[in-house]
Structure formats: C-alpha cells, structure tokens
C-alpha cells in the first residue's frame, strides 16, 4: 500500500486510499523479496541525538496500516533487522506487542533477554527498557502493533542503565 503522505503521493496511491476507506484492501506479499506490494521502506527513526543507548544500526521500518488510511487507533508495522543490527535501548509509556515472522533474534525486555524465532510473541509493558538485536547471519523481522498516537521513546535513566549493565544477561546488549 502506498501512503501519499509518506511517499510523496501518486495517482495509484490516491486510488488505493479511496479503496481502503470504502471497501477494504488486500496487500499482496512477495515471499521471494519478503515485501508487501507498494509498501515502501522507511527510516527506523530519525536521530535521537547523542543520548546514551539511543544509537541503532541496520533497521528498516515498513508501515503496513493505520490512520489516516485505515480508521483505527493502532498502527501495524514490520521491522527488519539486518545481520548485526540492533535497535535503540529505550522505554516509553505505550506497550509493544510483537510477533516474529522472519529469522531469529534477541529481545532485551527489562532484566531478561529472550531468544526469539518465527511466531514467538513478545510483550513489552509500559516504561520497560527494551532493545531488539540480530546477532545472526540472516534477516530478523517482526510485526509490531502500537497505539497510533503514542509518546516518543526515551533513554533509560541512570539507575536502569546501571542495573542492566550489572545484569550478566543484559550487559552484552547495553551500549
């Protein structure tokens, strides 16, 4: 699906947007490229400055659906981490509920690090530090549903950082 406000717009995007709002839409998936037709990659996020732990590498985000094109209160996204990639170490008030659909990876969630594989589900409660890691040699991808209107990510505080650095499970992923 091509969203005009995200890709600069096109006649096909306008047609698709009208079809979605009136009658629903099917977005074909190409298993060879592991991509949805017309869904363009976006930057994972823009620079969050030099805040400790907020760096990231090798992540692509795809917005699969949400407002204003779909009348709902959530946004469905697909994130793909290249081999060696990692997300920012962050927290926020909104929850994450992710479903792994490609490859294997790790999820740092609070004091735990989970190894995850296709069809595993990970819940991240509000205000819990978290980071996604791909230390394998294949892409790692997951669907992530979040509130459409949500607070921005924030770095972990000093006490959280210290606890994560002292925890032998999480320490390798706190940088």
> What is the pTM (predicted TM-score) of this model?
0.84
Residues of the chain with CATH 2.60.120.10: 41-173
Separation of alpha carbons 143 and 99, rounded Å? 5
pLDDT attached to residue 8 = 44
pLDDT tens string 82-132: 999 999 999 999 999 999 999 999 999 999 999 999 999 999 999 999 999
pLDDT exceeds cutoff 90 at 76: yes
Distances (CA, A) of 15 to 32, 134, 153: 26, 37, 34
As beta bridge partners, residue 36 has 29
- State the pLDDT confidence band at 17, using cuts at 50, 70 and 90: low
In the chain, where do the E strands start and end? 29-30, 35-36, 42-43, 57-65, 74-86, 90-91, 96-102, 105-109, 112-116, 121-124, 130-133, 140-147, 154-155
Overall average pLDDT of the 4-15 stretch: 47
Structure tokens at 147: 């509130």
Q: Residues of the chain with pLDDT > 70: what percent? A: 85
41-173 is a CATH 1.10.760.10 domain: no
Tell me if the bond preceding 138 is cis, omega within 30° of 0. Answer: no
Catalytic residue positions? 144
């Amino acid at each position: 699906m091509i969203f005009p406000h995200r890709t600069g717009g096109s006649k096909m995007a306008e047609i698709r947007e009208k079809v979605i709002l009136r009658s629903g839409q099917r977005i074909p998936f190409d298993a060879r490229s592991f991509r949805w037709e017309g869904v363009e990659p976006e930057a994972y996020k823009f620079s969050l400055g030099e805040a400790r732990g907020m760096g990231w590498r090798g992540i692509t985000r795809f917005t699969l659906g949400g407002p204003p094109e779909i009348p709902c209160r959530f946004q469905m996204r697909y994130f793909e981490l290249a081999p060696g990639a990692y997300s920012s170490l962050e927290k926020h008030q909104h929850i994450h509920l992710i479903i792994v659909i490609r490859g294997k990876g790790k999820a740092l969630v609070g004091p735990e690090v989970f190894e995850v594989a296709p069809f595993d589900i990970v819940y991240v409660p509000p205000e819990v530090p978290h980071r996604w890691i791909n230390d394998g040699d294949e892409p790692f991808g997951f669907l992530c549903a979040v509130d459409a209107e949500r607070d921005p990510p924030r770095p972990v505080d000093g006490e959280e950082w210290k606890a994560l650095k002292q925890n032998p499970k999480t320490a390798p992923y706190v940088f």
